Amino acid sequence: MITIKEYVAPASLEEAYKILMSGKTNLILGGFGFIKMGSRAVNKAIDLCNLSLDYITETTDEILIGAETSLRTLEINEIIRNYCGGAISEGVSNIVGVQFRNMAKVGASVFSRYGFSDLLPSLLVLDAKVRLYKGGIIDLEEFLEKDFERDILVEVILPKKKGMAVYDCIRKSTGDFSIINGAMFRGEDGQYKIAIGSRPQRVKLAVKAAKALEDGENIETVVDIIPEELHFGTNVRGSKEYREDMSKALVSRMYCKVGA
């Protein structure tokens, strides 16, 4: 069971960060979906609801997604649906159900860097960055390599890329966690990016496989590079060997979809 001693809704990010750092058991609240599954005693639960972080806006070069944006908004927002083929919207549409996606937040989902995330593969192939209150703006790829450090994820930044991205996954049933998932981007300039998640570790880019595609290798050869390049593991959802095999099918499927 989770117990919360005090609920606070600060008026600024600075105040939220100060409260977060003032006690080891203080935490930031997202939609509370994952926190409530655990068992811990929280001193101060910090709600970011007063900080106007529920937005999706565009500048000339970027799309900005506030931390308090729900996964459901990502799924149905026109800007995100029209961005590089709608891979982000497609990815999150697989998460549990609409009611849940109305509640779960982007900031929590990205900051937590879950290995099973259906959001991170698309963000990774699209060169997303994250803005952290203390840590500043860093590439998502770098953020995924980092250890956990207490901070507040303020927004996700997407560069306006020209090209097509797809998300795909293999899961036993709707609502279950992916056994394996991934995303692929094909730029108008011939650039490829491939990300494989739920290995079951955090999503990672398959750099060598993407380079082979750019160099004109055929897809049958490229898929064999994936299990050599990335580490796969076993958990209750699938064995290492199964994931390695399925990664090949997944990448072939995504390659067909991005319109090779």
Ligand X SMILES: Cc1cc2nc3c(=O)[nH]c(=O)nc-3n(C[C@H](O)[C@H](O)[C@H](O)COP(=O)(O)OP(=O)(O)OC[C@H]3O[C@@H](n4cnc5c(N)ncnc54)[C@H](O)[C@@H]3O)c2cc1C
Spatial distance between the Cα atoms of 20 and 169, rounded to a whole number of angstroms: 35
Residue carrying structure tokens 């082979």? 212
- Choose which of 1, 3, 11, 37 interacts with ligand X (CB under 6 A): 37
Binding of residue 119 to ligand X (CB under 6 A): yes
Binding region for ligand X (CB under 6 A) out of 34-42, 199-207, 220-228, 234-242 = 34-42
In the complex, least distance from residue 130 CB atom to ligand X, rounded to whole angstroms: 9
Least Å distance between CB 139 and ligand X? 17
Burial of residue 9 (CB within 10 Å: 0-12, 13-18, 19+) is middle
Give the Cα-Cα-Cα angle 182, 69, 99 (nearest 5 degrees): 80
- Tell me how far, at minimum, the Cβ of 90 lies from ligand X, in Å: 12
Q: How far apart are CA 9 and CA 49, in angstroms?
A: 7
Binding piece for ligand X, criterion CB under 6 A, among 3-11, 74-82, 106-114, 182-190: 106-114
Smaller CB separation from ligand X, 152 or 213: 152
Site for ligand X in 10-29 (CB under 6 A): 27-29
Residue 87, CA atoms < 13 Å, CB-side half-sphere: 31
Kindly identify the residues of this chain, within the stretch 47-76, that bind ligand X according to CB under 6 A: 67, 71
Number of residues in contact with ligand X, rule: CB under 6 A? 29
How many whole angstroms separate alpha carbon 6 and alpha carbon 95?
30
Angle at 73 between CA 68 and CA 77, to 5 degrees: 130
Alpha-carbon radius of gyration of the chain: 19
Q: Is residue 117 within the footprint of ligand X (CB under 6 A)? A: yes
Among 72, 105, 129, 186, binds ligand X (CB under 6 A): 105
Site string for ligand X, 124-163 (x = CB under 6 A): ----------------------------xx----------
- The tokens describing 122, both together, are 């698309």
List 26, 73, 109, 247, residue binding ligand X (CB under 6 A): 109
Beta strands in the chain (DSSP E): 2-8, 27-29, 40-47, 56-58, 62-66, 129-132, 136-139, 153-159, 163-170, 180-187, 192-197, 204-205
Interface residue list for ligand X (CB under 6 A): 27-35, 37, 67, 71, 95-96, 104-105, 107-109, 111-112, 114, 116-119, 152-153, 177
